[in-house]
Amino acid sequence: MGLLDGKTGVILGVANERSIAWGIAQALHREGARLAFTYASEAFEKRVRPLADSLETKLVLACDVTRDEDIARTFEGIRAAFGGLDIVIHSLAFANRDELKGRYVETSRDGFRIALDVSAYSLVALTRAAVPLMQGRRGSIVTLSYYGAEKVIPRYNVMGVAKAALEASVRYLAADLGPDGIRVNAISAGPIKTLAAAGISDFKEMLHHAEQHAPLRRNISLDEVAGAAVFLCSDWATAVTGEVLHVDGGYHVMGA
């Protein structure tokens, strides 16, 4: 018996086999969940489909989260295949690479709009589409954040502001959806080598700093983030909502 036997879920944000979303997908699958995957473009479809096939998952849907019609079509496909939905994993973030260089004060209006739309508003839009499928199922929505939402991280810039908006959205959505029995939480993961992290200059320095200063004196793994996601999606966490769960080796508790 798995912790998630009988549950259905959708994973948004798988980029490749090293992405956090993929680590979570594998863990949810091991615990018995039936999964659907989405991709944003043909380039990502070529990466996502073989991974989905490895889990014997046939439901792989195109979804540009900046387009409401795409979101509606995706969740209609999930309804047709699953009948309902228990889990949403939102692992989506984007900012133009140029916006992650220099000073935050130089952030362009368009760069700010794109980062907030993809990285924060998409959670709101996807949750709105998921709610009708989660009625009566004690659904769980989990998104991925980072410590740059709370404190200034050099070269994180507008993405830190977007993650702050994301974490605030988690709290407001949790308050909205609690009466429906739907929980909304975030995992604030420590730095991990992923495709998204490659867009941050001097990312290796971030990894080294976390390893040297976190109480556990090491970096975290995909499996550790995935384990936290399984917990939040399971019936072991039915009273946990509006939370930002740090999986960072304790780095966030440290001062100077």
State the catalytic residues: 146, 156
**How many of the other CB atoms lie within 10 Å of CB of 166?**
27
H helix runs in 92-156, sequence order: 109-116, 122-134
**Cβ atoms of residues 104 and 157 within 8 Å:** yes
Buried b (16+ CB within 10 A) or exposed e, 115-130: bbebbbbbbebbbebb
CA pair distance 122, 106, nearest whole angstrom: 24
Angle between helices 222-233 and 20-30 in degrees, nearest 10: 50
CA pair distance 1, 226, nearest whole angstrom: 18
Partners of 245 in beta bridges? 187
What number of CA atoms fall less than 13 Å from residue 232's CA on the CB side?
30
Q: Left, alpha or beta for 122 (phi > 0: left; psi -120 to 50: alpha)?
A: alpha
Q: Could you give the C-alpha distances from 40 to 20, 72, 110, 133, 174, in angstroms and in order?
A: 16, 14, 20, 22, 26
Q: How many residues does the chain have?
A: 256
